Amino acid sequence: MKILIMNGSPHKGNTWRLTESVREMIHQRDKSIKFTEVHLMDVHLPFCTGCSACFRKGHQYCPHKEKIQPILDLIEENDAVIFSVSCFQGHLTGLMKNFTDHLAFLIHRPRYFHKKAMIISTTGGVSAKSTTKALAATIAGWGFNKSYQLPIVALSWNAYEPKQRDLQKAEKIAGNFYQDLKLKKVYPPSIGVLIPFNLFQAMCEPGKQENEFPTEDHNFWPKYSGMQYAPGIPLPVHKRLLGKLIYFIGKHLAKRMVISYKK
């Protein structure tokens, strides 16, 4: 089993200390797990320019492909990702936000349907929970099957030592995260994830807009034709029916809307 640990903070402070504790908790359960680290502060990723090349032509045309593609490859190669990100003013760090901006195309062309994540954040005051929640919502749109959140109030800006109650909470969540990976448990998508999957699929069916405004979306969605969600992911009957309804709504909207990304 392989787990990628992504440090989205500009230093190795409170959140990283807690992340190291979580790694040890998981390692104690399974000594064979291989961990790989990526520290976004060392990647020197330029700001996303909003050029839309990833939407229009494909992410391989991103002007920062040399920085982004190796990380995408690591996510693909690993069974799960632990995101370690500090709470900055109630939200993600600039490093992590810039990284997720570069991957905005994944909302339109999701993957990673069998990946799990654990999101760890600490704060000296409040809003660690809003930080983990924001990132969990983002990667759900990328296709991540399940995210475990570990928000902790550290009450320290630079000298946090995990307290017993924090370690107990971390132990419980890390245990659940590990068991999911070990058993390869797969969860049905939420309604919030089901909606864009079926809308984009319907709106990217071959037609007039594909000829007028060709995008990579039109090349992506045919492989899911007739599916309400990705293969191998359980979908209860009520969500399957809901997916079909959303799909038909998307076909209706496609007559009035055009996905163009025109600059």
Model pLDDT for residues 214-260, shown as the tens digit of each residue: 789 989 999 999 899 999 999 999 999 999 999 999 988 887 766 66
CA proximity to 116, closest of 77, 74, 145: 145
Provide the pLDDT confidence category of residue 155 given band limits of 50, 70 and 90: confident
Distances (CA, A) of 222 to 155, 201, 225, 227: 50, 8, 5, 10
Model pLDDT for residues 125-138, shown as the tens digit of each residue: 889 999 999 999 99
Give the angle 91-94-98 at the CA atoms, nearest 5°: 110
Count Cβ neighbours within 10 Å for each residue of 200-215 and write b for 16 or more, e otherwise.
bbbbbbeeebbeeeeb
Start-end of H helices in 103-147: 128-142
Q: What is the pLDDT of residue 159?
A: 79
Q: Specify the fold of 2-183.
A: Rossmann fold (3.40.50)
Domain boundaries, the chain: 2-183, 191-254
Query: For the whole model, what pTM was predicted?
Result: 0.93
Distances (CA, A) of 167 to 173, 174, 181: 10, 10, 21
Residues near 105 by Cβ (< 8 Å), separated by ≥ 6?
54, 55, 59, 216
